[in-house]
Amino acid sequence: MVAATGAPALVGSAPASARTARAPGSPGIRRGSYLIRNGAVITVDRAKGVLPRTDVLVRGGVIEKIGRGLSAPGAETIDATDMIVMPGFVNSHYHMWSAIGRSFTASDGGFSYYPAKNATSILYTPDDFHNSVLLGCAELANGGTTTVHNWSHNTRSPAHADAELRAHQRSLLRARYAYGHIDKMPADEVNRYDDLARIRREWFGERPHFDGLVHLGLNLRGPQQSTDAVFHEEMKFAKASGLPVAIHAPQEAPNNVDAVDYERRGYLGPDFMIAHYVPATAADLAAMARTKTPLSFATHSELRLSSTGDARAALFAMREAGLTLSLSSDATSIAPPDMFEMMRFTWNLGVPWTGTPSEKAKAVGVQEVIEMATINGAMAMGLGDVTGSITEGKRADIILVRTRDLNMWPIGNIETAIVQGGSASNVDTVLVDGRILKRNGRLLAYDVPDILRRAHRSATRIRNMAGKTLAF
Please tell me the distance from the alpha carbon of residue 287 to that of residue 260, in angstroms, as a whole number: 6
Cα-based distances in Å from 338 to 89, 131, 296, 341, 457: 10, 19, 15, 5, 24
CATH topology of domain 30-87+387-448: Urease, subunit C; domain 1 (2.30.40)
In this structure, of 161-170, 306-315, 342-351, the range with the lowest mean pLDDT score is 306-315
* Structure confidence at residue 206 (pLDDT): 85
Are 414 and 82 in contact by the 8 Å Cβ rule? The answer is: no
Whole-number average pLDDT of the chain: 90
Instruction: Give 349's pLDDT tier (boundaries 50, 70, 90).
Output: very high
Q: What is the pLDDT of residues 53-107, one digit of tens each?
A: 999 999 999 999 999 999 999 999 999 999 999 999 999 999 999 999 988 876 6
Q: Do the strands 272-275 and 245-248 form a parallel or antiparallel pair, or are they unpaired? A: parallel
Q: In which element (H, E) is residue 233 found?
A: helix 228-241
CATH superfamily of 89-380: Metal-dependent hydrolases (3.20.20.140)
Are 163 and 171 in contact by the 8 Å Cβ rule? The answer is: no
Mean pLDDT of 307-326: 90
Mean pLDDT of 35-57: 96
Please tell me the distance from the alpha carbon of residue 341 to that of residue 364, in angstroms, as a whole number: 15
Structural domain boundaries of the chain? 30-87+387-448, 89-380
- What radius of gyration, in Å, describes the C-alpha atoms of the chain? 21
Dihedral of the CA atoms 226, 218, 288, 379 (nearest 10)? -150
The pTM assigned to this predicted structure is 0.92
Cα-based distances in Å from 372 to 101, 327, 341: 26, 6, 13
Helices 311-321 and 339-349, interaxial angle, to 10°? 90
Residues facing 273 on adjacent strands: 246
pLDDT of 363 over the 70 cut: yes
φ, ψ at 95 (rounded to 5°): -85, 85
Please tell me the distance from the alpha carbon of residue 259 to that of residue 320, in angstroms, as a whole number: 17
Q: What is the pLDDT of residues 125-144, one digit of tens each?
A: 999 999 999 999 999 999 99
* Structure confidence at residue 15 (pLDDT): 42
Instruction: Give 109's pLDDT tier (boundaries 50, 70, 90).
Output: low
Cα-based distances in Å from 150 to 161, 179, 381, 390: 11, 9, 11, 24
Instruction: Give 207's pLDDT tier (boundaries 50, 70, 90).
Output: confident
The CA-CA-CA angle for residues 440, 133, 443, to 5°, reads 10
Please tell me the distance from the alpha carbon of residue 337 to that of residue 46, in angstroms, as a whole number: 27
φ, ψ at 373 (rounded to 5°): -85, -5
Peptide bond into 410 cis (omega under 30): yes
- What is the DSSP secondary-structure string of 255-276? ----HHHHHHHT--STTEEEE-
Question: What residues contact residue 267 under an 8 Å CB cut-off, 6+ apart?
Answer: 235, 239, 245
Please tell me the distance from the alpha carbon of residue 117 to that of residue 170, in angstroms, as a whole number: 26
In this structure, of 15-19, 327-331, 392-396, 406-410, the range with the lowest mean pLDDT score is 15-19
3-state secondary structure (DSSP) of residue 105: coil
Mean pLDDT of 28-52: 94
